[in-house]
Amino acid sequence: MEHAVQIENLRKEFKGFTLKDVSFNIPKGYVMGLIGPNGAGKTTLIKLIMNLIRKNSGQIRVFGKDHIQHESEIKSRIGFVYDIPHFYEDIKLKSTASAIAPFYPKWDQDLFLKLMNEFSLPLDKKFKKLSHGMKMKFSLCLALSHDADLILMDEPTSGLDPVFRQELLEKMSQIMLDEEKTMLFSTHITSDLERIADYITLIHNGEIIFSSPLDNILQNWGIVKSEKDLLDKTEIPGLVGYEKTNYGIEILTSDIKTAQTLISSDSISEKATLEDIMYFIKKGETHA
């Protein structure tokens, strides 16, 4: 399987936070969702790939090439959408587009105009006059206008209403149809990912907790609920975290199938959503 992005033993130190031993791959032609609590390292990771931040050690290969040695070449194939706007605010949208277009050999001006129209973005308006949602849309528009092979997005849907998010996700699915493009996007809105992602990487405190196909996660992870205190009697396989509620106990396991066979009589089991997983991992921390 070809990988669009390969990350090996990546390390970046800040004062008070370290990204360590980060290794995972993004297979070509798929959508990878990146989740994790605020401050876990999602934005740092994306910035490291784009070499906006210098790594301390480790390797990042994009399209099989080292991301620093072939920086310029690789970036001509990457579309990016960051969480904080980074455009010159007093410049018109069409001027900004015109300034960056020559940098991309595959820039498609007709496609750009079409997308601007689709997103209802006025070409003649200055960037600062746009609402937050429109700023995001503009970022996305630019990222999609040069036939990028890799699209990196850092919380692209934050602040967008559900209707537009759905349209966006539909558009992203459309883009992914040709199976040549790869997408990495980080978000806090896990329900969006459950709709579109093929793979999920969870990052927490600067470390990768898991990086697997979404289907696997949804099949193998689950929540066991019981009125009895199951932890007293049984060792739950794959225990990640638990919460004591008014009704009893809720436990998240990464191996629901085995867990079910052990305690089916005393409990019910449910599918875990990505949000549940994040929640219980955090709980697991506090109990540890």
Partner 1 sequence: MLKHIRRELIFNQTQLYIFAGYILVFWIWIVWQNISPRISLVFLSFVLPLFCAASFQAREEKFKAWTLNCSLPTNRNTLILARLITSWSLMIAALIVGILYSALFQKNHSILYQFIQLKYFLVFLLFTSLFLVFLFPFVIRFGLSGVLIGLVVLQILGIITLVLTRASGSKGNFLHTMIDSIINFMKFLLNHPSTFFYVTVLIFSVAVLNIFTLKFSQFLFARRDF
Partner 2 sequence: MTLALDIKKLNKKYSDFTLKDISLQLPSGFIMGLIGPNGAGKTTLIKLILNMTRRQSGVIKVFGRDNIIHDKEIKSRIGFVHEEPHYPGYLKVKEIGSVFSRFYSNWNKNRFFNLCREFTVPENKRINALSRGTKMKLSLALALSHDADFLLMDEPTTGLDPVFRRELLKRFSRIIQDEKKAVLFSTHITSDLERTADYITYIHQGEILFSITKDQLFEEWALVKGGNEILNPETQKLFKGLRKSSYGFKALTSDKEKVRTNLSGQNYVMEKPSLDDIMFLLSKGEINA
Q: Which residues bind partner 2 (CB under 8 A)?
A: 36-40, 83-84, 131-134, 155, 158-167, 188-191, 274-275, 278-279, 282
Query: What does 54 interact with, of partner 1, partner 2, none (CB < 5 to 8 A by kind)?
Result: partner 1
Shortest reach from residue 174's CB to partner 1, in Å: 24
Query: What does 257 interact with, of partner 1, partner 2, none (CB < 5 to 8 A by kind)?
Result: none
As a whole number of angstroms, the distance between CA 143 and CA 72 comes to: 16
As a whole number of angstroms, the distance between CA 99 and CA 88 comes to: 11
Closest CB to partner 1 among 47 and 137? 47
Shortest reach from residue 30's CB to partner 1, in Å: 22
Non-local (6+) Cβ contacts of 78 within 8 A are 50, 62, 148, 149, 150, 151, 152
Q: Which stretch binds partner 1 (CB under 8 A): 77-85, 155-163, 164-172, 247-255?
A: 77-85
Closest CB to partner 2 among 61 and 204? 204
Q: Which stretch binds partner 1 (CB under 8 A): 90-98, 113-121, 213-221, 248-256?
A: 90-98
As a whole number of angstroms, the distance between CA 143 and CA 50 comes to: 14
Judged by CB under 8 A, the chain residues 37 through 76 that form the site for partner 1 are 47, 50-54, 71-76
As a whole number of angstroms, the distance between CA 221 and CA 272 comes to: 6
How many residues can be counted in the chain? Answer: 288
Cβ pair 143, 76 in contact under 8 A: no
